[in-house]
């Protein structure tokens, strides 16, 4: 039996399989060793070439982790709450601007800056979610589009007033006496943070309110008929999602040490939508996979172009001379193919494959 019935009649979940703990331990070991591998570029004394490591460096991994916060928060908002937003970059800009005011100008410590960014993002998300109480569908999507341009305009005015065209500078992030001055230190700060956010979102979706939010996504009228306050849930989902994205924006600004309003253009917003489509809409693992594919695939293609640097003809023309167009074409085709043949994304494909293998194994 997979569950044991308690005296009170409530079911208790079966204990996790030993294999699950083994896989978790293996994953933890890989994640801990990964920054060492990418920094030293060798394993057990054996030197690894750039192509063996897929042309991936620790800086790309750190940016991937920061981007995962945006992908996770948008998937929570769109995939779980059913609220489509194309202005998610605005909340990154809110976090970056809040970090500039509190950190660069007021000199607040880094942890307080992140808290302020989260609160600022929650407030901005609450205001951005207000139109959802009155409008639906395309009109609401356009309202998030308008919010994006308003926030980016505010960031641009702030930048030119206090820092001019050189961009907004940020101080080194410090946690007490520990300064995040190297990519490895950043990695061991960002990785636990992303894991905590992932677990927080996953557990929130398993609560009664989380299930109510998913019911609202699937059928709003039915959810309302069952006594669910969909207006409150919409605003709460927007505020929660935006707070996480704003923290990601503050981290993004601190990691780059200097940003401008141009960093948060509409293309920056669209990339988060592409990530959750590639990874899997409504799937938190899908958000993680989508962010990884979106951030790391260009580095892999760049590595291939380096290998093709001495070639001639069509291969060089595609890989070297038209590399940006190649990256955009690959992502465009990937999104179209997944929307047509696998709308559940890469994570959904992996889940279905696992189910089929499990069924085949049980029959054999």
Count how many domains the chain has. Answer: 1
Q: With beta carbons less than 8 A apart as the criterion, state whether 253 and 171 touch.
A: no
Q: What is the pLDDT of residues 77-102, one digit of tens each?
A: 998 888 888 889 999 999 999 999 99
SS3 11: strand
Domain presence at residue 35: no
Domain presence at residue 147: yes
Domain presence at residue 181: yes
Q: With beta carbons less than 8 A apart as the criterion, state whether 170 and 99 touch.
A: yes
Domain presence at residue 309: yes
Residues 6+ apart with CB under 8 A from 114: 99, 247, 250, 251
Q: Which residues pair with 175 in a beta bridge?
A: 178
CATH code of the domain containing 243: 1.10.3470
Tell me, letter by letter, the H, E, C secondary structure of 92-143: HHHHHHHHHHHHHHCCCCHHHHHHHHHHHHHHHHHHHHHHHHCCCHHHHHHH
Longest dimension (CA), the chain: 75
Domain containing 220 equals 56-363
Extract the tokens encoding 111.
């942890």
Domain presence at residue 298: yes
Domain presence at residue 29: no
* pLDDT reading at 154 higher than 90: yes
* pLDDT reading at 359 higher than 90: no
Domain presence at residue 40: no
Using a pLDDT cut of 90, give the percent of the chain over it: 55
Q: How confident is the model at residue 308 (pLDDT cuts 50, 70, 90)?
A: low
Q: What is the pLDDT of residues 47-68, one digit of tens each?
A: 988 888 888 999 999 999 999 9
SS3 213: helix
Residues 6+ apart with CB under 8 A from 305: 319, 320, 323
Q: How confident is the model at residue 134 (pLDDT cuts 50, 70, 90)?
A: confident
Q: What is the pLDDT of residues 2-20, one digit of tens each?
A: 444 334 444 454 556 777 8
Does this model's pTM top 0.85? My answer is yes
* pLDDT reading at 290 higher than 80: yes
Q: What is the pLDDT of residues 24-46, one digit of tens each?
A: 899 999 999 999 999 998 887 88
């Amino acid at each position: 039996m997979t569950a044991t019935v308690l005296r009170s009649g409530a079911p208790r979940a079966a204990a996790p399989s030993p294999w699950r703990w083994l896989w978790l331990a293996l994953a933890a070991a890989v994640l801990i060793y990964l920054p060492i591998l990418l920094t030293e570029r060798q394993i057990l004394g054996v030197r690894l070439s750039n192509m063996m490591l897929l042309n991936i460096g620790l800086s790309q991994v750190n940016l991937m982790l920061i981007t995962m916060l945006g992908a996770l928060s948008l998937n929570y908002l769109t995939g779980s709450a059913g609220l489509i937003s194309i202005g998610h970059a605005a909340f990154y800009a809110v976090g970056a601007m809040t970090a500039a005011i509190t950190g660069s100008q007021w000199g607040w410590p880094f942890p307080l800056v992140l808290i302020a960014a989260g609160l600022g993002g929650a407030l901005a998300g609450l205001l951005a979610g207000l139109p959802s109480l009155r409008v639906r569908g395309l009109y609401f999507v356009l309202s998030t589009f308008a919010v994006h341009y308003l926030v980016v305009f505010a960031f641009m005015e702030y930048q030119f007033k206090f820092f001019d065209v050189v961009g907004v500078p940020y101080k080194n992030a410090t946690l007490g006496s520990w300064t995040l001055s190297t990519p490895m230190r950043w990695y061991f700060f960002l990785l636990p943070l992303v894991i905590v956010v992932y677990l927080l979102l996953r557990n929130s979706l398993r609560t009664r309110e989380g299930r109510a939010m998913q019911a609202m996504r699937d059928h709003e009228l039915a959810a309302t008929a069952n006594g669910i306050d969909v207006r409150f849930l919409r605003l709460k989902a927007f505020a929660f999602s935006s707070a996480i994205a704003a923290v990601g924006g503050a981290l993004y600004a601190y990691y780059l040490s200097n940003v401008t309003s141009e960093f948060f253009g509409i293309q920056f917003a669209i990339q988060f939508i592409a990530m959750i489509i590639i990874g899997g809409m409504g799937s938190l693992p899908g958000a993680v996979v989508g962010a990884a594919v979106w951030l790391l695939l260009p580095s892999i293609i760049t590595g291939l172009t380096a290998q093709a640097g001495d070639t001639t003809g069509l291969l060089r023309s595609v890989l070297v001379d038209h590399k940006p167009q190649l990256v955009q074409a690959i992502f465009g085709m990937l999104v179209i193919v997944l929307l047509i043949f696998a709308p559940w994304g890469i994570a959904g494909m992996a889940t279905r494959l696992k189910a089929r293998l499990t069924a085949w194994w049980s029959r054999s």
